[in-house]
């Protein structure tokens, strides 16, 4: 009597290596930046010779270098062994960036969520991805979409949602001086855009109107 054939076994996919994410900008020249900052301040009619202002060009250069230098990180993912298929949402992630039109800061919070596919993401990496794209001259609309598109491409989830609420000092401290005004932007991809139930759940948990 012939023996039954051994059951076929699907190959176990290899665990992907953690992706090292590094900002692609060249290193800052702090000496040149300090010199330019001093010239800029003096061109506005401000005397930098006083004790309080003498070190301001250097402090200004270092401050902007920090704002434009996201920390490198490893994008670690893990197998979704339990087949979890509900929303994963990190709320109220602190955000700071710089408006590319005036080089003035905008600050606020971001809500970032996704519907897992085959892999899940270390939760702290949602904040790291936000920082990676925020630490450069930005506009809020682009920042929102960059975070969502990048997570969709790297994680291949069933859906991604990003909501950002921020106060722009280029709007509140100058020009119209609309103190207290905030700007909200959102990007929804995959099922969080096409499936009404998933979309409603995400918007409800982030506090946005459905």
**Exposure of 76 in the CB half-sphere (CA atoms within 13 A):** 5
Is 101 annotated in the active site?
A: yes
Q: Residue 12's pLDDT band (boundaries 50, 70, 90)?
A: very low
CA of residue 4 relative to chain centroid, distance:
55
Query: pLDDT tens digits, residue range 88-139?
Result: 999 999 999 999 999 999 999 999 999 999 999 999 999 999 999 999 999 9
User: For residue 19, what pLDDT is reported?
Assistant: 65
Q: Residue 153's pLDDT band (boundaries 50, 70, 90)?
A: very high
Active-site position among 23, 102, 118, 152: 102
What's the CA gap between 110 and 138, in Å, rounded? 15
Indicate if the pLDDT at residue 25 is higher than 70. no
Is 23 annotated in the active site?
A: no
Is 132 annotated in the active site?
A: no
Is 140 annotated in the active site?
A: yes
Active-site position among 39, 42, 66, 100: 100
User: For residue 24, what pLDDT is reported?
Assistant: 59
What's the CA gap between 78 and 155, in Å, rounded? 10
Kindly tell me the burial class for residue 114, based on how many C-beta atoms sit within 10 Å of its own C-beta (0-12, 13-18, 19 or more): buried
User: For residue 14, what pLDDT is reported?
Assistant: 53
Contact indicator for 201, 145 with CB cutoff of 8 Å: no
Query: pLDDT tens digits, residue range 26-82?
Result: 678 999 999 999 999 999 999 988 999 999 999 999 999 999 999 888 888 999 999
The three-state DSSP-derived secondary structure of the chain is CCCCCCCCCCCCCCCCCCEEECCCCCCCCHHHHHHHHHHHHHHCCCCCCCCCCCCHHHHHHHHHHHHCCCCCEEECEEECCCCCCCCEEEEEEEEEEEECCCCCEEEEEEEEEEECCCEEECCHHHHHHHHHHHCCEECHHHHHHHHHHHHHHHHCCCEEEEEEEEEEHHHHCCCCCCCCCCEEEEEEEEHHHHCHHHHHHHHHHHCCCC
pTM, full prediction: 0.85
Query: pLDDT tens digits, residue range 162-210?
Result: 999 999 999 999 888 888 899 999 999 999 999 999 999 999 999 876 6
Active-site position among 99, 111, 131, 138: 99
Active-site position among 140, 146, 165, 201: 140
Average pLDDT over residues 133-157: 96
């Amino acid at each position: 009597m012939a023996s039954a054939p051994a059951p076929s076994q699907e190959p176990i996919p290899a665990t992907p290596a953690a992706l090292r994410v590094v900002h692609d900008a060249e290193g800052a020249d702090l000496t040149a930046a300090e010199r330019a900052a001093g010239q800029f301040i003096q061109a506005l009619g401000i005397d930098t010779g006083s004790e309080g202002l003498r070190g301001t060009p250097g402090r200004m250069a270092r401050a902007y270098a920090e704002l434009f230098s996201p920390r490198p990180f490893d994008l670690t993912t893990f197998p979704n062994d339990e087949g979890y298929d509900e929303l994963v949402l990190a709320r109220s992630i602190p955000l700071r960036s710089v408006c590319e039109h005036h080089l003035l800061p905008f600050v606020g919070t971001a809500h970032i969520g996704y519907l897992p596919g085959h892999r899940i993401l270390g939760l702290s990496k949602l904040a790291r991805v936000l920082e990676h794209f925020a630490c450069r001259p930005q506009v809020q609309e682009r920042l929102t979409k960059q975070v969502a598109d990048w997570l969709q491409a790297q994680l291949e989830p069933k859906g991604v949602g990003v909501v950002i609420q921020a106060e722009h000092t280029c709007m509140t401290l100058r020009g119209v001086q609309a103190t207290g005004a905030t700007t909200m932007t959102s990007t929804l991809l995959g099922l969080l855009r096409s499936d009404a139930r998933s979309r409603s759940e995400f918007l409800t948990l982030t506090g946005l109107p459905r």
